[in-house]
Amino acid sequence: MGETERLMKAAESAMTGDELGVGVKMGDTYRLTNSSTGGPVFVYVKDGKIVRMTPMDLDDKVDAPAWTIEARGQKFTPPRKTTVAQYTAGFKSMIYSDRRNLYPMKRVDWDPDGERNPQNRGISGYERITWDEMYDILAKEINRVRTEYGPASILSTPSSHHMWGNVGYRHSAYFRFMNLVGFSYADHNPDSWEGWHWGGMHMWGFSWRLGNPEQYDLLEDGLKHAEMIVFWSSDPETNGGIYAAYESNIWRKWMKENLGVKMVFIDPHYNYSAALWGDKWFSPKVGTDHALSFAIAYTWLTEGTYDKEYVATHAYGFEEWADYVLGKTDGQPKTCEWAEAESGVPACEIRALAREWAKKNTYLAAGGLGGWGGACRAGHGIEWTRGMIALGTMQGMGKPGSNIWCTTQGSPVDTEFFFPGYAEGGISGDCENSAAGFKFAWRMFDGRTSFPAPLNINTPAGQHVPRLRIPECLTLPEGKKYTWNGKGFCGGDIPHQMHKYEYPAPGYERCHMYWHYGGSHIGTMQEGNRYVKMYHDPHLECVVSESIWFEGEVQFADLILPACTNFERWDISEFANCSGYIPDNYIQCNHRVISLQDKCIQPVGESKSDFHIYCELADKLGIGPIFHEGKDELAWIEQYYNATDMPRYMKFDDFLKKGYFVVPVNENRKKTVALRWFAEGREKDTPDWGPRPNNQCGRKGLQTTTGKVEFISTSISRFEKQGYVDPHRPAMHTYVKPWEWENQKKYPLGMLSPHPRYSFHTMGDGKDSFMNDIRDHRMKVGDHYYWIIRMNKVDADARGIQEGDLVRAYNDRGSVILYAQVGQKVQPGTVHSYESCAEYQPVGTPGQSADRGGCVNILNPARYMSKYACGQAPNTSFIEVEKWNGDAFETGYPQFVTEGMVDA
Amino acid sequence: MKQKYIIIDVRWCHNCNNCLMGCKDEYCELDMSTGPVHSDWSDSDPQPRHGHRWIDVIRRERGVYARNDIAYLPVPCQHCENAPCMKAGGDAVTRREDGIVLIDRAKAKGNKALADSCPYGAIYYNEQYDVPQKCTMCAHLLDDKEGWLPGMPRCVHNCPTGALTFVECEPSEIEARIASGELAAYKAELGTKPHVLYKNLYRYTKNFVSAGVLVDGDCFEGAKCTIKGEGHEETQETNFFGEFKFDALEDGKYAISIDANGKKYDTEVTISGESLNLGFIKL
C-alpha cells in the first residue's frame, strides 16, 4: 500500500472505541479488569455502572504459580493476590465525582478574537461549549500561534502521574500528538530522584536510573543474610516503592517476624513504616541527615570497622575524604557529639548504631525505592545521597550481607520476559523524552505501515523550559532571557545534566500559549502562588487545560478539555511497570501481572479519552491520519501487544477475554544480585540497562570516569575547572548546610513535606473522593476538608494549639490554612505536612492570599537545590504556625525567582 | 452452627484505610449531576458519600518522643451477641443465625436513638434517608456465592497486611482463643460478646515504660532489667541501644531494677493512663 493510499484508508476508518469490555459474568455483575497507579484491579460492572473495584485474587487453575525462596531453613512464597493502594481502593469516587469536567468549557470573558482578559483567570467563570466549537477554537489558536511565532511557542507539559496505561498515557498518546502538533516541552525536574540525580550520579553513575541503584535479586539476598536494615528517609508502607501498592509488605513481615531482622528508622517524621516495623526511630532536624552519616563514617574510621580492602579497590578519593571526615583538613572532626549538636540525635545512639552496623549484616534502605526518599528533595539532598553511597561503600556493598536495598524491589520474577513500562514511549516512539529508544520503538513500528512520532523541538539544540520556572519563563520581561544549567530527566551520559540552556532558545520565539495536561503544579511545585501570578500576566494569550477534574490550576484555564479516566477507555499495562528511568521495576511485585484495561463504562458526561480528543483535533488540524493511522485505541493496543513477548503465551483475542496474564516464573533465569559483580570485580551481569559499553572498560566497573565510587567526583571536578564552581555541590562529598537554614532565624519550625500517603501526588486527593474521609488525610471542619499538619505537643502547647484546631502555617512566601494534628510523630521544632494536595482554594484574592486547599508547597522554596543543579528542595523549609483567626491574609503576589535572569 | 467473625490484629494495622475505602466502595451512593450511582445491596439504603465510617480506624499515640509508638484500631460494628442496639431497637435489629447483626431499614426509620445506643459508636445516622446504618459484615456478598468469589467482607479482602481476617467457625473455637488470651473483645467490660475480636489489643488499651541505659556515656547492651508490679513481673535485656520496653502494663505502681554488669539502678514508676519514656538512665 502506498503512503497516500494508506493515509486515505486510515482517515476513513478512524474510530473511537465505543465498545465496552465484556469481562466474566459473576452472578448479576460482570467482572472486568483494569489497572492504576496503585495496582491492577477487578472492576465489577452492572447496568453500565461500576459497582465495585477490588484487588485481584489469582486463580491457581489458570494462573502461573508463584515463586519460592529458600533462606535460613525456611521457605517463603507470596500470597496469590495482588494488593491495592488506598487511592485505587477508593477510585470509584473519583470516577463518579461532581468535580469531573463534564463538558468542554470556555472562560466567559476570554475572546480569542477580542479581549482576552488574563487578569480574570480564576475569577470570571465558564460557559459550556460543544466539542465542535472547542475544536474550531483550538485549531484556530494553534494555527495562529504557529504561523505568527512558530510551533515552539506552544508550551505544554503533563502532570507526573495522571492516569495509568501504556497506550493512553502521557509518554504515549500525549507525546505522539504533541510532537506532531509541535510544542516546547516543560522539562520535568526529577522530583523523586533529585539528590540521586544531581549528586549520587556523580559518585557512582547509574545515569540511566537518574542516580538510583539497581536492586536485582536483593529479596533473596536479604532473606538469606540481613540481620539489620537501616531505613533512612524511607517509608515503604507509604510509597510502596512506586506504583506497587503493598506488594513488599509481606517481605518485611518475613524478615521481622520469621527471621528477627532489626529495623531502624531515620526520618524527621515517625513514618508509617517506622510505626509498623521500627525497633528504633531517629528524628534528625530537617536538613541534617548528613551530619549523622558523617558521624557514622567517623566512628568507622576511628574504630577501624569499615571494609578497608573493598574501599582500597572500589573507591576513588577516599583518603582525602577520610582526612576531611576526621577534621584534618577543616579542623572539625565529624564526631557523634558534633552530629548531635547539628541534628539533635543523641551522640551515644548514633555511635551505637554505627557499631551495630559494622558488626552485623546491615542493608541500607536509603529512600523508599532503592534511592529516592524525602531527604533527596531537600537543601542537603545532594550530600545526603552521597552520604548514603559513602556508607554503603565503606561496608562493602554488593557482598552478601551488605547492600543499598530498600526492601521494595528484588523479587525473583522473570526479567527475561519483555513487556515495556509506561515510560517506554507506547505509541509515540519518542526516544528523547521517553525510553522508547532502549528496545521498544524498534519492536513497535515496522516503518512501513506504522511510524513513530519523534520530537524535533525539545531536542538538546531546541527550546526548553524548566518546570520549576514555567511562571518566570511565560512572563519573561521584555529584553530579558532566562538561563540555567541542567536537565532533570536526562540520563545518556553523566555530564548531560550540566548542559547550559537559555530561554528563549537562540532563534526561537518565546511561548505564547500554554496547554497543560492535568493541573497539579500549585500543589506539587514550590512557591505555588507564582503560578497564579503567571496566569494573570498578559504575555499568556491562551491557556488550555486538558483535565479530568476541575481542581488545582485548572480553574485558571481559558479552555477546558474534559478528559476521562482510564476506566472509561481501553488500555494495556503491567502492575507497577513504569520503566523508563526505573528499569525493570516490576521486580517490586510478587507476580508480574499484565492487565488489559477494559473500557468499563462509557465516559462520564461529554468527557472523552485523551486519545479520542487528539484524534478529533488532529483531524481538524489536517494531521489525523498521521496521528491515528486509522487505528482506534484497541487496534493500537493490539499492535502494542504484538510488540511484546505476550504473543508467545497468549493470543490477543484470548487476552481480551481473560483480561490479564501472570508471567510464569522462569526456573532457568540466572540469579544476579545487584552490585555483586562490582564487589567481586567481575563484568556486570545483571539485566540492568547500563552502563553503556563506552562508559566502562571491558564491561567492568561503574559508570564514573574511574569506574569506582568517587568520593571526589571527577565529573564535578572537571565542571569546576571549567569555571562552574557550586558551593552547594562541591566535587568532594562534604557537609554543606542547606541554604534555607538562614530562614530559621525568622521562622523557627522546620517543615518536612514528603510525598503523601493517601494520594499519589495529586491523584486521589480532592475530587470529592472517599480519601477525604481518611482521618490521617484530611479532616472536616465546618464545610471544608482541611489538609493536615503534624506537630509536637511541645510546639503546639507553646502556641496554644490543640488537636483539631485550624492553624495558619506561614512564612514570607505565603500562608496555608491546615488542620493541626498534635502528638509525638515529629520532634519539637519540626512539623510535617505532605506535599501534593490537589486543591488550591484561596481564601481571598487568588495568588495573593492564604490557601485553604492545603498546598504547603506554597511555603517551600522555589530556589534550585544548588547553582547548577536545577532540582527542587522542598524538604528544607522553615515556617511559623499559629491558630487561624479566619482572615484571608492578603499579602500580594509572591516574587518571581530572579536568579538566572539576564539581559537578552 | 458455625458463626462468622472478623479478627483484627492491632499489631498489623498501619492505618492504610483500605478497609474503609473498600467499605465505602461497596456501600456509598455517588450522587452526581448525572444521576446516582451505587451498588445494589440487600435492598438497603446507600451510605452517604461522606461522613460515615462503618469501619473507623482510630489512632492512639503512646509515649513521648523519641520513645513513642502508635497503635491504630479499626472499629466496625462489633456484631455483638448481647447487642445494646438490639435492646434499643427492638425488632428493628436482628441477629442472623450466623451471628451477623443487621438493622432493618423500614423498622428503624427515624430511630436516631438506635444510632446513639452503640457503645462503640459504630452506628451512624443517615439524614438523607432518615435511617440508622452500620457495617453489615457484607452479608449480601457472603450470601452471594456466584457473584462474590472471595467469600469475605470487603474490608478484609482489601487489607494488605493480614491485620483483618474473616473466620467462620464454631463458637467454642473462638472461646478457646479468648480464654488463651490470644483474642480479646474491645471494651470487654460491657459484656457485649462481640463477633469482632482483637489480637494484641494491649497496643491500644494499655501502656509501656521504656528507657535507654547508658554506662560511661555509651548505650549499654545486655543490662538485665526487671519490672515488678501487681500481676506483672518481667525481665528483659537491653538491646544495642541500651533500651528496654515493658509493655501491656495496667495502671499501677511498678518497681524497676537494672543491673548493667554490676552497676545497679532501682526506681519506681506509676502508670496512670499514659506510657512513660524515662529518658536515659546514666550509670
Concerning whether A422 is annotated as a catalytic residue, the answer is: yes
Q: What is the pLDDT of residues B73-90, one digit of tens each?
A: 999 999 999 999 999 998
Asked if omega into B176 is within 30° of 0 (cis), the reply is: no
Taking CA–CA distances from B217, the nearest residue in chain A reads A348
Give the residue with greater pLDDT, A162 vs A268: A268
> Does A89 contact B150 at a Cβ distance shorter than 8 Å?
no
Using a CB–CB cutoff of 8 Å, tell me whether A774 touches chain B: yes
Q: Do A93 and B214 touch (CB under 8 A)?
A: no
Q: Count Cβ–Cβ pairs < 8 Å, chain A vs chain B.
A: 165
B4 pLDDT above the threshold of 50? yes
Beta strands at A784-792 and A814-823: parallel, antiparallel or unpaired: parallel
pLDDT, one tens digit per residue, over A603-639 is 999 999 999 999 999 999 999 999 999 999 999 999 9
Residue type, A583: P
Q: What is the pLDDT of residue A846?
A: 95
The three-point CA angle B170-B176-B181 to 5° equals 140
d(CA B5, CA A40): 28
Least confident of A6-20, A135-149, A161-175, B74-88: A6-20
Q: How far apart are CA A709 and CA A395, in angstroms?
A: 13
d(CA A896, CA A894): 7
CA distance B101 to B88: 13
Helix, strand, coil % (nearest 5) of chain B? 20, 40, 40
Which pLDDT belongs to residue A11?
A: 42
Residue-level pLDDT at A13? 39
3-class DSSP state of A143 = helix
- SS (HEC) of A162-217: CCCCCCCCHHHHHHHHHHHHCCEEEECCCCCCCHHHHHHHHHHCCHHHCCCCCCCC
Catalytic-role residue among A270, A422, A482, A614: A422
Residue A10 has pLDDT above 70, yes or no: no
User: If contacts are CB pairs under 8 Å, which of residues 30-59 in chain A contact chain B?
Assistant: 46, 49-55, 57
Question: What SS3 class is residue A627?
Answer: helix
A65 within 8 A of A47, measured Cβ to Cβ: no
Mean pLDDT of A370-378: 96
Task: Tell me which residue of A276, A213, A230, A232 sits closest to A250, measured CA to CA.
Answer: A276
ipTM for this prediction: 0.97
- What lies within 8 Å, CB to CB, of A399 at 6+ separation is A307, A310, A676, A679
Residue in chain A nearest B71 by alpha carbon: A275
Q: Which residues on neighbouring strands pair with residue A693, listed in sequence order?
A: none
> Which residues fall within 8 angstroms of residue A791, CB to CB, at 6 or more apart?
A749, A801, A820, A821, A822, A826, A831, A832, A881
In this predicted structure, what is the pLDDT of residue A9?
45
φ, ψ dihedrals at A459, nearest 5° = -85, 170
Q: How far apart are CA A516 and CA B221, in angstroms?
A: 58
Q: Place B33 in a pLDDT band, splitting at 50, 70 and 90.
A: low
Separation CA A92–CA B26 (nearest Å): 10
Asked if the model's pLDDT at residue B100 lies above 80, the reply is yes
Element containing residue A232 per DSSP (H, E): strand A228-232
A412-449 pLDDT, tens digit per residue, is: 999 999 999 999 999 999 999 999 999 999 999 999 99
**Residue in B18, B58, B146 nearest the CB of A84:** B18
Mean pLDDT value of segment A451-480: 96
What phi and psi, each to the nearest 5 degrees, are found at residue A240?
Answer: 55, 40
The pair phi, psi for residue A291, each rounded to 5°, is -65, -40
- The DSSP line for A145-159 is HHHHH-GGGEEEEE-
pLDDT above 50 for A168: yes
CA A577 to CA A169: how far, in whole Å?
13
Neighbours of A347 (CB within 10 A): 19
Residue ranges in A519-651 assigned as alpha helix (H): 521-524, 529-535, 610-621, 624-628, 633-642
Backbone angles phi, psi at A781, to 5 degrees: -130, 120
Cell matching residue A722? 571549567
Q: What's the CA gap between A632 and A117, in Å, rounded? A: 38
For residue A717 the three cell numbers come to 571536578
Tell me, yes or no, if A660 is annotated catalytic.
no
What pLDDT score was predicted for residue A162?
A: 76
Q: Is the pTM of this model over 0.90?
A: yes
User: Which residues, in sequence order, are bridge partners of residue A902?
Assistant: A481
- Contacts of residue B205, defined as CB under 8 A and 6 or more positions apart, other chains included, come to B186
The DSSP bridge partners found for residue B263 are B260
Is B279 in the A-facing interface, judged by CB distances under 8 Å? no
- For the cut 80, the answer to whether the pLDDT of residue A747 exceeds it is yes
CA distances to A612, B91, B99, B192 from B104, rounded to whole Å, are: 47, 8, 15, 20
Radius of gyration of chain A (CA): 26
Q: What is the DSSP string of A408-460?
A: SS-----SSS----TTS-TTT--TTTSSTTTTHHHHH--SSS------SSSST
With an 8 Å Cβ cutoff, are B148 and A27 in contact? yes
Torsions phi, psi for A333 (to 5 deg): -60, 135
Tell me how far apart the alpha carbons of residues A486 and A468 are, in angstroms, rounded to a whole number. Answer: 12
A275 touches chain B (CB under 8 A): yes
Concerning whether A161 is annotated as a catalytic residue, the answer is: yes
Assign residue B167 a region: left if phi > 0, alpha if psi is -120 to 50, beta otherwise? Answer: beta
As beta bridge partners, residue A54 has A42
pLDDT of A12 reads 43
Q: How many angstroms separate the Cα of A325 from the Cα of each of A290, A669, A708, A878, B187?
A: 12, 43, 20, 28, 56
Beta carbons of A84 and B150 less than 8 Å apart: no
Report angle CA A550, A552, A555 to the nearest 5 degrees: 55
Is A900:A484 a contact under the CB 8 Å cutoff?
A: yes
| Residue A3 confidence (pLDDT) above 60 | no
In the stretch 39-78 of chain B, residues with CB closer than 8 A to chain A read: 39-40, 49-51, 53, 56-59, 61, 63-66, 68-70
- Which tens digits make up the pLDDT trace of A109-151? 999 999 999 999 999 999 999 999 999 999 999 999 999 999 9
Put simply, the answer to whether B16 touches A86 (Cβ < 8 Å) is yes
A152, A869, A867: which is closest to A503 by C-alpha? Answer: A152
Q: How confident is the model at residue B34 (pLDDT cuts 50, 70, 90)?
A: low
Given an 8 Å threshold on Cβ–Cβ distance, is A270 in contact with B68?
yes
Report the distance separating Cα A25 and Cα B229, nearest Å.
Answer: 61
CB-hemisphere CA count at 13 Å for A683?
7
pLDDT-above-70 percentage for chain A: 98
Phi, psi of A877 (to 5 degrees): -150, 145
- Asked if B15 and A272 come within 8 Å (Cβ–Cβ), the reply is yes
Distance (Å) from the alpha carbon of A448 to chain B's nearest alpha carbon: 45
Which residues on neighbouring strands pair with residue A49, listed in sequence order? A46
DSSP B208-276: EEEEEEEETTEE-TT-EEEEEETTEEEEEE--TTSEEEEEEEPSEEEEEEEEETTEEEEEEEEESSS-E
DSSP structure class, residue A583: T
Per-residue b/e over A317-327, b at no fewer than 16 CB within 10 Å?
A: bbeebbebbbe
Q: Is A472 helix (H, G, I), strand (E, B) or coil?
A: helix
Are the beta carbons of A327 and A337 closer than 8 angstroms? no
**β partners of residue B211:** B244
- Other Cβ atoms less than 10 A from the Cβ of A458: the count is 25
Which residue in the set B70, B149, B280 is minimally distant from A57, CB to CB?
A: B149
Reported as a pLDDT band with limits 50, 70 and 90, residue A4 is very low
Calculate the CA dihedral of residues B83, B87, B89, B92 and round it to 10 degrees: 70
User: In the structure grid, which three cell numbers stand for residue B27, read together?
Assistant: 456501600
- Comparing C-alpha atoms, which of A424, A430, A426 is closest to residue A179? A430
Cβ atoms within 10 Å of A98's Cβ, excluding its own: 15
Tell me if chain A has a CB within 8 Å of the CB of B9.
Answer: no
Residue located via cell numbers 509481606:
A250
